[in-house]
A and B are shown apart, each in its own frame.
Chain A
Amino acid sequence: MIAELGHFALILSFCFAILLAFVPITGAWIGDRLWMRLSRPLAGAQFLMAIVAFAALTASFLRDDFSVRYVAGHSNSLLPWYYKFSAVWGGHEGSLLLWALILTGWTAAVAKFSKQLPLEMVARVLGVMGMISIGFMLFILMTSNPFLRYLPNSPQDGADLNPLLQDFGLIVHPPMLYMGYVGFSVAFAFAVAALMGGRLDAAWARWSRPWTTVAWAFLTLGIALGSWWAYYELGWGGWWFWDPVENASFMPWLAGTALIHSLAATEKRGVFKSWTVLLAIFAFSLSLLGTFLVRSGILTSVHAFAADPERGRFVLMMLGVVIGGSLLLYALRAPVVKSRIGFSETSREVFLLVNNIILVVAMLTVLIGTLAPLVAEWMDKEISVGAPYFNLMFSLLVPLLVIVMGVGMYSHWKDTKAAQLLGPVPMFLVISAVTSVVIPWMYGEIHLMAVIGVFIAVWLFAATLRDAWLKSASSQGRMRGWLRTSRSYKGMVLGHLGLAVTIVGATMVSQYTVERDVRLAPGQSVELSGFTFRFDEETQRRGPNFIGDRATVSILDSDGDVLHVLHPEKRRYQVSGNIMTEAGIDPGLFRDLYVSLGESLEDESWTMRVQYKPFVRWLWLGGVFMAWGGFLAVADRRYRIKLKRKLSTAEAMDSSDAQAQPRGDADALGGRQA
């Protein structure tokens, strides 16, 4: 009964989506305010029904209703309750339902937090989001309904959730990632709405900017979580595989990063309007492409669920409609008038343009590398594109990007004096050059890639910190001065520092990981990077739904003292029969020690992989900084002040905020001018 209720709610939500897609937009077209005003309640109703549908599926999981086909395929009565909960999005159908839930959630959020927008704009934005909803819900209802039942012969128990997904990382990774993917639909909807209305101006950029930044921050978190999950859960210490699905999330991230920077230029200076709109279309189209790649099963990876050509066709069709339709609209409506706003070669505008070009080239690099095997398959060849291709391209593009960033940070809108740009460069050069030799030297060998990586990271640190130092100058002291800078400026600093932190992590862990595959019998030990790993014993252990071989490995320092005891495991999940490697990890800010079990051999010995991974945590720490920066920027006062001003001008006047207003209005990038 619950499943049917969910199915019914989903159909209702779909009906609301249809109304939402057509009524308000028609209203905006014919100028009917009542029809336009319907957009907000419709968005709310759509979200409410999606919640009911999602709750119904969750309830079916928690109640072990194995007559529901999807539950039977992805759960088991032995599963702990929190994994039953996360199993809702552990398969194709459920993860699409989560997509739909988040999409309707974003729609409702736009409806709620758009009081300062003109009604026409709200109607169009929500209408476009309704259209996207129609596509997704139709997809779910027609090809991937999670509420179908096995009747009358329903199984006694479920086939269990893939053990890889029975993990905390998977409870949070997909929702974060989807928040990002789907969040770009808001930027897309704003862009399309602006094209429809023919009003492509700075106001449009200001409205869509916070939404884009939030989506980007969620996507950043989602990707970082995915990488962290792969690191500890796949069992072998890899953190990025250039797997098609990882690429699928990385491409919208690169386009989104370009977008949040070009939006800044569009908002502040009214330049690059058409380009920004195009990027918004790209970012969301790439999110859809990602969904297509993952869900159609045409590219194989750990993430690919069962391949189904019908689903693939549907998503491909949707992709065609979205990309084709929005590009057609773009071609028809994008401003043909050349913007007359001038800027010199050394202006902030130019630096942001260079940033955009590099990011888009990076995105195309990933796109080509990901799609090449598909293209080759049509030509009846079978190829795979290896990590060396991506690594080579990124080791060229990222340094270029970061060097330009370090200089561009000091540029002004319109024009900058060359002396101001190049003034601090010698200092950065010296600091970066020295550090980039010293740190690799401390780790033994000086690899070229390590030198480059540390160089650009330190360059970025130095440039960002110097800028923050200058901006926080104040008669009341640095601390007060820093606190006085706007939140969007703080967010930018944090984001850029985050990138530097991630670069340090990626460089150090790629260049200085020490890894050894060994064969150890109980009592034997192996030395690695100054640590002794001693295999003490192996015991059996029973989990709720698995049996495991659990090894005890002690880590000793050079004096023979035990630093840590790790327990890597080899688990066999009873229902599915899957074997899982659970790594034993001793985490640290500057190094992880990582032990994973291979196979047990005849004489009680085990094959083991022991690893020393320097700075690996920095990879994800940087991601957290970037995301945090994004959220901070959105919390900037100017986004709230506009609202407040409109609601009650009088109140805002005598509040203590009024005093700080001018600074609050200063944007991250324009802060210097204010």
Chain B
Amino acid sequence: MNPKRKQRLIIVSFLVIGVSATVGLIMTALSNNVNHFYNPTEVVQGAAPIDKSIRVGGMVVDGSVNRDGKSLAVAFTVTDYNNNVNVKYTGILPDLFREGQGIVATGKLDAQGVFQAEEVLAKHDEKYMPPQVQRALDKAQDAAPAQTY
């Protein structure tokens, strides 16, 4: 092999190795840090993994918000109108968190089926409905056509 070809070969192999390493790194980082979204029905049916960071969304059930008298712990229930999931959270809830409002929570499901939230999101607009929640509600509606509303 002449030196020029050899140099070219070295450059190309460096490029190939570099690109594959970068792509591999990005993909690994991505797959480890993606949160999947589940609606309450999927959680109740056991489709959601336990003790893994996921997102759960739905409407906050009226009258379900229960704040601890002394600490910042709060418990509430989210629903897609077919199934309910109990959520526990410690901390300050967002300004627009309200009963009857759509929310998305990030956290982990424990073995008892209670969602231990680390973050609760409610968007800064009263009319706003997180699209995941909207779709989850639509899906639930399709799944239970017999129900009357």
Contact = CB atoms under 8 A, between A and B. Distances in A.
Interface residues of A, number: 39
Interface string B3-40: 00000000000000000001001100110111111000
B37 A382 contact: yes
Nearest to A388: B33
B53 A386 contact: yes
B130 interface: yes
A365 B26 contact: yes
B92 A392 contact: no
Contact of B124 (A365, A578, A609): A578
Interface residues of B, number: 32
A200 to B, nearest CB: 23
Contacts of B35: 383-386
B92 A383 contact: no
B125 interface: yes
B92 A607 contact: yes
A598 interface: yes
Interface string A348-366: 0000000000000100110
A368 B23 CA distance: 10
Contacts of B53: 386
12 contacts: A300-B131, A302-B123, A372-B30, A384-B34, A384-B55, A385-B34, A392-B33, A393-B25, A396-B25, A579-B95, A599-B93, A607-B92
A422 interface: no
A95 to B, nearest CB: 17
A104 interface: no
B110 to A, nearest CB: 20
Contact of A361 (B22, B33, B93): B22
B72 to A, nearest CB: 5
Nearest to A299: B131
Given A383-B37, A580-B95, A599-B93, 18 more contacts: A365-B26, A368-B26, A368-B30, A381-B36, A383-B35, A385-B30, A386-B106, A389-B30, A393-B26, A517-B90, A517-B92, A576-B126, A581-B95, A598-B93, A607-B72, A607-B92, A608-B92, A609-B92
Contacts, number: 81
A548 to B, nearest CB: 13
Contact of A517 (B26, B72, B125, B135): B72
Contacts of B22: 361
A164 interface: yes
Contacts of B29: 389, 392-393
A302 B124 contact: yes
Contacts of B93: 598-599
Interface string A579-611: 111000000000000001011010000011100
Contacts of A369: 30
Contact of B96 (A162, A385, A518, A579): A579
Nearest to B68: A519
A384 B124 contact: no
Interface in B61-90: 67, 70-72, 90
